[in-house]
Structure 1
Amino acid sequence: MKNQPINNKPELKAYRKNLRNNGTPAEAYLWSFLKNKQLEGRKFRRQFSVGHYILDFYCPAEKLCIELDGAAHFTDAGYEYDQQRTAFLNAQGIKVIRFENKMVFDHTESVLESIKSCFKK
């Protein structure tokens, strides 16, 4: 099966923009550490789409997706959706790591270290 291209589909542009402008407090807080290549010089994008999925944060150089999970993810339907999404992204060669929103605030340094540990050396 041929990999689908990784791109920001035009039909998702307005939705991506809305998500960027109305992100969660946890997304805004983590973004303050990821933007402008602050984390070991890696460039991250917010609300980047791959296929029909929109990723919270994506580092193209590392093929790394960071997802922040709120209450909706901790339901049976949310868990199943996340599994399908992760399988699709993994098939594209993208590693997915997830953090609960609360972790971003309560254990910021640990979250940043976990992200850095995924970087190719």
Structure 2
Amino acid sequence: MPHTPVPPKIRSNARRMRKVMTDAELRLWNELRAHRLMGLSFRRQLPIAGYIVDFACPTEKLIVEVDGSQHANDRDQTYDRVRTLRLQADGWTVLRFWNDDVLKDIDNVCTHILIVLGKDRA
């Protein structure tokens, strides 16, 4: 996959976001980091196509977004739809989970990720 240059401002924002993860992002990151989920390699706060995605597994072209309640309003839902369509146009699969799902049911979140990738444990 060719590397796309990342503007300095986006790179700086991604670095900052890695340092101030939400509780839900941190909880999911602890499940994904260091190949803990079935050996998959995830990166966090990764710049892709002019956006900073929460988590990405580049080898599987999978993006995982963890959304808080602010994503429930019409304006942010529209933005998220446009963003998802743009990422899908580049061949990425985008999964979205609510903070509450990650915090209260991390096992099912991880299972869903694996099912989408065809790597479910069953």
- With normalisation by structure 1, the TM-score equals 0.91
Higher RCO (C-alpha under 8 Å, 6+ residues apart):
1
Aligned length: 117
What is residue 22 of structure 1 aligned with on the other side? 20
Deviation at 1:72, TM superposition (A): 1.3
Deviation at 1:120, TM superposition (A): 4.4
- Confirm whether residue 61 of structure 1 aligns to residue 59 of structure 2: yes
Is the alpha carbon distance of 1:26 and 1:7 closer, same or farther for their aligned partners in structure 2, counting shifts above 3 Å?
Answer: farther
Paired letter, 2:6: K
Deviation at 1:7, TM superposition (A): 3.9
Deviation at 1:24, TM superposition (A): 0.5
Contact 1:6 1:50 in 2 (8 A): no
SS in structure 2 at match of 1:61:
helix
What is residue 45 of structure 1 aligned with on the other side? 43
Cα deviation 1:12-31 (Å, max 9, x = unaligned): 11100110001111001100
- With normalisation by structure 2, the TM-score equals 0.91
Percent identity at matched positions?
A: 38
Pick the aligned partner of 2:74 from 73, 76, 95: 76
Contact 1:8 1:48 in 2 (8 A): no
**Aligned CA-pair RMSD:** 1.4
Is the alpha carbon distance of 1:103 and 1:74 closer, same or farther for their aligned partners in structure 2, counting shifts above 3 Å?
Answer: same
The 2-side partners of 1:67 and 1:23 are apart by: 12
Which consecutive aligned stretches of 4+ in structure 1 deviate over 2 angstroms post-superposition?
A: 5-8
Deviation at 1:10, TM superposition (A): 3.8
What is residue 101 of structure 2 aligned with on the other side? 103
Is the alpha carbon distance of 1:10 and 1:112 closer, same or farther for their aligned partners in structure 2, counting shifts above 3 Å?
Answer: same
